[in-house]
Amino acid sequence: MNAKILLVDDETALIRSLQPVLTAQGYSVESAGTAAEALKKAKDTVFDIILLDLGLPDADGKEIISKLLSFNALSILILSARHQEAEKVAALDQGADDFINKPFNIEELLARIRAAVRRLKNEAVKSQEFRSGQLSIDFLKRKVVLMDQEIKFSPKEFDLLETLARHAGQVVTHRQLLLAGWNDPNVDTQYLRSYMALIRQKLEYDSSQPEYLLTEPGVGYRLDIESEH
């Protein structure tokens, strides 16, 4: 799939350094320096992924998220130098799928783009399983197999893992996880933390130094595994 990417950032230096690599990776890339330009381009063309900077000169990036989505943009990835968790959570609540902190490594960005593209494909087929290396999850039979061994998960643990796996590679906010596990976004995140610790004990080699189930401080969790789909 030759995904179409719209790069929205007022920093021309960043666009100049990203465009050649993204193009070399087979994506077709367009860029916009302002919110107005981004909205105009998104109205004319359907983009699979929009890389959106929050600090635009003419508008706060997160204010145009819902508008971009209404123009059939499929997935929005936030690029932001703002390390304020509240900003990220607000952008994700507005409908953005993921974020990446500036400064970032190109591999990191490409991995996020791949995760977004994969999720776009998965959504189309409503995948029934997740498979990656040593880990496979059967969503229908609610079975988890790690290194050829089946691992028991309680129903709530499985619900949480399924949500994370369906967003593999992308951030899942506390709110999304609370809704998945407790059906109530106002439950104390303390419960969520204890369940994440339980899941880590079952998945990670060293649960105090997780490699796959990562914490995004103040925002949520990320299952940092690339699916084979």
Residues lying near another protein in the complex (CB under 8 A): 10-14, 16-18, 20-21, 24, 55, 57-58, 79, 81-84, 102-107, 109
Shortest spacing between CB 45 and another protein, in angstroms: 24
Shortest spacing between CB 63 and another protein, in angstroms: 14
Of residues 10 and 204, the one with the C-beta less far from another protein? 10
Of residues 104 and 191, the one with the C-beta less far from another protein? 104
Cβ-based neighbours of 206, under 8 Å, separated by 6 or more: none
Q: Is 51 exposed, middle or buried (0-12, 13-18, 19+ CB in 10 A)?
A: buried
Shortest spacing between CB 87 and another protein, in angstroms: 10
Of residues 22 and 219, the one with the C-beta less far from another protein? 22
Of residues 102 and 229, the one with the C-beta less far from another protein? 102
Shortest spacing between CB 88 and another protein, in angstroms: 14
Shortest spacing between CB 191 and another protein, in angstroms: 31
Using alpha carbons, select from 71, 78, 113 the residue that is nearest to residue 93.
Answer: 78
Shortest spacing between CB 101 and another protein, in angstroms: 8
Of residues 4 and 82, the one with the C-beta less far from another protein? 82
Of residues 53 and 159, the one with the C-beta less far from another protein? 53
Shortest spacing between CB 126 and another protein, in angstroms: 34
Q: Are strands 75-80 and 49-53 parallel, antiparallel or unpaired?
A: parallel
Q: Is 67 exposed, middle or buried (0-12, 13-18, 19+ CB in 10 A)?
A: middle
Sign, CA dihedral 27-31-36-40, equals: negative
Using alpha carbons, select from 94, 106, 24, 38 the residue that is nearest to residue 65.
Answer: 94
Question: Could you tell me how far CA 41 lies from the centroid of its own chain?
Answer: 23
Conformation bin of residue 158: beta by default, left when phi > 0, alpha when psi is -120 to 50: alpha
Q: Report the run of H or E that residue 28 belongs to, with start and end.
A: strand 28-32
- Cα–Cα distance between 52 and 15 in angstroms, integer? 11
Of residues 23 and 215, the one with the C-beta less far from another protein? 23
